[in-house]
Amino acid sequence: MCGIFGYIGHRNASKLLVKGLLRLEYRGYDSSGVVVKNGQLQSYKDIGKISEMASSLPRMKGSMGIAHTRWATHGGVTQDNAHPHLSNDGKVAIVHNGILQNSDTLRKRLVKLGVKLNSETDSEIFCHYIAMELDRGKEPLEALQNVLALTRGTWGLCVLFEDYDFVLCARNGSPLIIGRGKDEMFISSDPHAIREHTDQLVALEDGQIAKLNSLDFQVMQTDGKEVKSNLLDLEEDWGESELGDYPHFMLKEIHEQSQSLQHCISGRLRHAEGTSVLGGLQIRPQELAQLPHVRLIGCGTALHAAQIGQILIEQWARIPAVSHVASEFNANDPVINPKALHLAISQSGETADTLSAVKEIQRKGADVYGVVNVVGSSIARQCGKGVYIHSGPEQSVASTKAFTNMVGALALFALQLGRSRHLSKTKGKSITREMRMLPDKIRSYLENPGSIDEAVELVTKAKSVLFLGRGISSPVASEGALKLMEIAYIPCLAYPAGEMKHGPIALIEQDYPVVVIAPNDGVQDRTLNAIHECKARGAKIILIHEEGDPISEVGDVCISIPSTIPMLTPLLSVLPTQLIAYHAALALENDVDRPRNLAKSVTVE
């Protein structure tokens, strides 16, 4: 969602701020802006792309500034609502990620005091209240502490002052990272944005404030008590985040899935023993063998990976598993068994709903293990243990390779769990053998993806599209539908094939497109029944099936994938759905990497 970048040092701040915002562009935004100190605070902001804002940015000479990309929550997409926000005297500037729950009350109080409000946002109250505290003779740190005591909600907050040569930051529920360079300091909501400048990174924790000048920084609790901060342990090379020869990040990331899955499984498979080892779990086989059940929690694409993980765990480990929508988890006041194992799944490691669920589970006495991509992220730090999926940076809002690696990591976990219980060594070796072959099979398919253009022609002419799958292919159908909705803006429904008769069949009319994921997985015959019922009503079947499978005879558009064992088919069957979504978005002239209204990382609840 919203992104923050800040700089204080000896270089031109505005250039670094714009570059930092471009690094955060993948998170999603609708407006952006910068403020630089050069004697006074000079600010510029606009709606639209960062590059367009930057092209009209006035000359700014200062070496200290903060910047922001906004994803609208309170107030529409307007220049006034864009960040930064300045106090009316121009002496305080802020950028803010998060949501203030009591902003209406605080705004009304400002109006009664005669303060002119310049936007509809909840964030604006920070600069006015801080300015009022300064007018009362408070020092900046005390002023910020007093204002934070008034507010309820979440914030990643940076404050710049006209009269002081430092920046104040505060975190509560929204990530902020500090980076130390040579006589310069960086601030960002994402370590990826400052990793190119320094590897000396520190993450603020909830309830902390930081004071930064160009030479050093100090971290303290909101009550002023100083705390010791530990450097983030980041990977030396998190992968290439430039486009290279590809026209869009999404296509690049689709084609990176072979390599990224290889990174995920590399060193973790033990073929001779027919098992896997995930050292980050820090859990012994005896403990795995005694688990009563497993719960998996995620949102969006991570939820679909969790649903696949649930089936893998039940099939290979033969213990109950259930997946949960993270945004609903706390609302349902879940009953937590402290002996159970909980997995929190998130590409960014910053998903607010998932992080909230993690804290609730821990509050009720159970352990949670993170399944995340970004090293040092909030969920990774909160859990303290888990599995990194190693998919590398994912710039496109529509997730592709992160989904593949989430499923890959969950397959590794299910295998390790299964071998600690009743899964035989022979069965385990057959799984490890197939997992080792998957990167090459992904590469082979992407070199010859089949009838994608024919499928695109059908879906782009449709007013809606139905996706069907059965068993472990049902979450793949959900993921395919999500991708097509996200970037092509085509309404989609995804259903287990057996549920088609319980409602969705009413949508089917002549030439209506139905995407069916039907690998040869033991439940294909019942999926075939659903296909015939659709065809009898005039539907056009876009069939995703394994190579050489006779089921291709019933498809109108047939896309074949390499064969593998049934439980691993999602790692291959999802690929055509990603390509269909990508090429459909292109055909409809949509912004593939930056779809409207969407953010890469949802950091507010």
List pLDDT tens digits, range 262-285: 999 999 999 999 999 998 888 888
For residues 206 and 253, membership in a common domain is answered with: no
Same domain, 149 and 287: no
Q: Does residue 239 surpass a pLDDT of 70?
A: no
Judge whether 230 lies within some domain.
no
What's the average model confidence in pLDDT over 469-482? 97
Structure tokens at 555: 């498809």
158 assigned to active site: no
Mean pLDDT of 156-172: 96
Average pLDDT of the chain is 92
- The yes-or-no verdict on residue 363 having pLDDT over 70 is yes
Instruction: State mean pLDDT over 531-554.
Output: 95
User: Is 203's pLDDT higher than 70?
Assistant: yes
pLDDT 10s digits, 42-52? 999 999 888 88
Residue 227 is assigned to a structural domain of this protein: no
Backbone angle region of 500, left / alpha / beta, with phi > 0 → left and psi within -120 to 50 → alpha: alpha
What's the rounded mean pLDDT across residues 311-322? 97
The contacts of residue 122 (CB under 8 Å, 6+ apart) are 73, 74, 99, 100, 103, 107, 153
Residue 441 lies in a domain: yes
Active site residue 2: yes
Flag whether pLDDT at 354 surpasses 90.
Answer: yes
Q: Give residue 285's pLDDT.
A: 86
Asked if residue 399 and residue 464 are part of one domain, the reply reads: no
Say whether pLDDT at 238 is over 60: no
Residue 226: inside a domain: no
Within a domain: 228: no
Supply the CATH number for residue 400's domain: 3.40.50.10490
**How large is the average pLDDT for residues 504-510?**
92
Alpha-carbon span 261 to 436, nearest angstrom: 10
Six-digit token string for 493: 């429904």
pLDDT surpassing 60 at residue 236: no
Q: Which of 447, 465, 482 is the C-terminal boundary of a domain? A: 447
Q: From the candidates 45, 252, 401, 600, give the one annotated as an active-site residue.
A: 600
Query: Quick one: what percent of the chain has pLDDT higher than 90?
Result: 77
Residue 492 has pLDDT above 50, yes or no: yes
Statement to judge: residues 181 and 241 lie in one domain:
no
Q: Are residues 91 and 24 in the same domain?
A: yes
Domain end position, chosen among 447, 480, 514 = 447
Residue type, 363: R
pLDDT, tens digit (0-9, with 9 covering 90-100), for 72-130 = 888 899 999 999 999 999 999 999 998 898 999 999 999 999 999 999 999 999 999 99
Please name the residue that has the structure tokens 């090459």. Answer: 440
Q: What are the angstrom distances between the C-alpha of 179 and each of 8, 15, 184, 347, 523?
A: 11, 17, 9, 22, 53
Closest by alpha carbon to 124, among 81, 165, 162? 81
In this structure, the answer to whether residues 308 and 207 fall within a common structural domain is no
pLDDT bracket for residue 341 (50, 70, 90): very high
φ and ψ at residue 415, rounded to 5 degrees: -65, -45
CATH number for 25: 3.60.20.10
Q: Are residues 438 and 499 in the same domain?
A: no
**Which residue would you say has higher pLDDT here, 348 or 254?**
254
Task: Give 590 or 381, the one with higher predicted confidence.
Answer: 590
Q: What is the pLDDT of residue 81?
A: 94
CA of residue 511 relative to chain centroid, distance: 35
Kindly state whether residues 465 and 554 are assigned to the same domain. yes
Same-domain check for residues 455 and 410: no
Q: 407-429 pLDDT, tens per residue? A: 999 999 999 999 999 999 999 99
279 shares its domain with 406: yes
Closest CA to 269 of 440, 377, 412: 412
pLDDT tens per residue, range 7-31: 999 999 999 999 999 888 766 678 9
Q: Is residue 229 part of a domain?
A: no
What pTM did the predictor assign?
0.84
Q: Which of 2, 169, 492, 558 is catalytic?
A: 2
The 3-state secondary structure of 336-358 reads: CCCCCEEEEEECCCCCHHHHHHH
Which of 395, 429, 447 terminates a domain? The answer is 447
Q: What's the mean pLDDT in 330-346?
A: 94
- Please spell the DSSP secondary structure of 95-156, one letter per residue: EEES-BTTHHHHHHHHHHTTPPP-SS-STTHHHHHHHHHHHTT--HHHHHHHHHHH--B-EE
* Distance of alpha carbon 425 from alpha carbon 433, whole angstroms: 12
| For the chain, percent of residues with pLDDT exceeding 70 | 97
User: What's the confidence (pLDDT) of residue 457?
Assistant: 97
Claim to verify: residue 441 and residue 465 sit in the same structural domain: no
Number of domains in the chain: 3
From the list 269, 262, 195, the residue with the least C-alpha distance to 235 is 195
Residue with tokens 């040869």: 520
Residue 600's pLDDT band, with cuts at 50, 70 and 90, is low
In a domain? residue 68: yes
Containing domain of residue 410, as a range? 235-447
- Specify whether 433 is located in the same domain as 492: no
